Amino acid sequence: MEIEERFLLGRKKAMALLTHNDRTKWELCDRLKRAGFEQEVIEDALAYVESFHYIDDLRYATRFAEIYSATRSIQRIRQDLQKRHVSEEYINLALENIAWDDSAALKKELGKLLKERNIEELSYEERQKLAAKLYRKGFRTDDIFSCVSLY
């Protein structure tokens, strides 16, 4: 197959991958590698979709933060974006627009973990386990303690 045909196939595959989900540059590159395209074809496809602004890591990070700010902690959003290889600069810019109040997300997560139970019904040990789960999800200790009443 000629190089022009491979470039065309790479561009088509990149466009097809972007029709269903917005992706970071790293995610798109990874998907094209897994599809068996050579590095030069991948670079051409990335340049092609970037020229039309179909891929933009800052836009991706901003939308991701907006969508998940009500259900995830700021730390969890940061970690999820880092997993997608979004640069720290873009992550910081995206999170600047988000209120640093995790209370709504914390209360929602607390409600899921309690499942119809009242927090006052829990023993001290159960509250500690609950607090540990919330901490692992990226919520700040002070916020957790105020909700779980471990003082």
CATH 1.10.287 fits 3-51, yes or no: no
Q: pLDDT (tens digit, 9 = 90+) per residue, 46-80?
A: 999 999 999 999 999 999 998 888 788 888 899 99
Confidence of residue 40 (pLDDT cuts 50, 70, 90): very high
* For range 30-57, the mean pLDDT: 94
pTM score: 0.69
Confidence of residue 148 (pLDDT cuts 50, 70, 90): confident
Instruction: Write the CA distances from 111 to 47, 67, 106, 118, integer angstroms.
Output: 45, 19, 9, 9
Contact indicator for 32, 13 with CB cutoff of 8 Å:
yes
* For range 30-48, the mean pLDDT: 95
151 pLDDT exceeds 50?
no
d(CA 141, CA 26): 33
Instruction: Write the CA distances from 83 to 112, 114, 131, 146, integer angstroms.
Output: 25, 29, 25, 30
